[in-house]
Structure 1
Amino acid sequence: MDYEPKDNEYLKDVKGCATYTEIKEWIMSEYGLKVSSLYVAQIKNKCGIEKRLNYNIGDNKSRVPQCPPEKEKAIMAAFRHFNMI
Structure 2
Amino acid sequence: MDPPRAGSTPEFLQAVSRMKPEKLVYISCNPETLQRDLEILVKLRWKVERIQGVDLFPMTEHVETVVLLSQQKPDDTIEIDLDLDELDATSAELKATYQEIKDYVLKEFGLKVSSLYISQVKRKCGIGVGENYNLPKSENARVPQCPKEKEEAIKAALKYFAMI
TM tier, smaller: 0.7 to 0.9
Runs of 4+ in 1 over 4 A off after TM superposition: none
1:61 is matched with which residue: 140, 148, 157?
Answer: 140
The structure where helix makes up a greater share of residues is 1
**Counterpart Cα distance in 1 of 2:124 and 2:134:** 20
Work out the percentage of aligned pairs sharing the same amino acid. Answer: 56
The runs of 5 or more residues in structure 2 that have no matched partner are 1-88
Quickly say closer, same or farther: Cα 1:50–1:74, change in 2 above 3 A.
Answer: same
TM-score of the pair, normalised by structure 1 = 0.76
Distance 1:31 1:72 in 2: 11
1:83 is aligned with what amino acid?
Answer: A
Indicate the residue corresponding to 2:6 in structure 1. none
Give the root-mean-square deviation of aligned CA atoms: 1.7
Unaligned runs of 5+ in 1: 1-13
Is residue 75 from structure 1 mapped to residue 151 from structure 2 by the alignment? no
Structure with the bigger percentage of strand: 2
Asked which structure has the greater RCO (Cα within 8 Å, sep 6+), the reply is 1
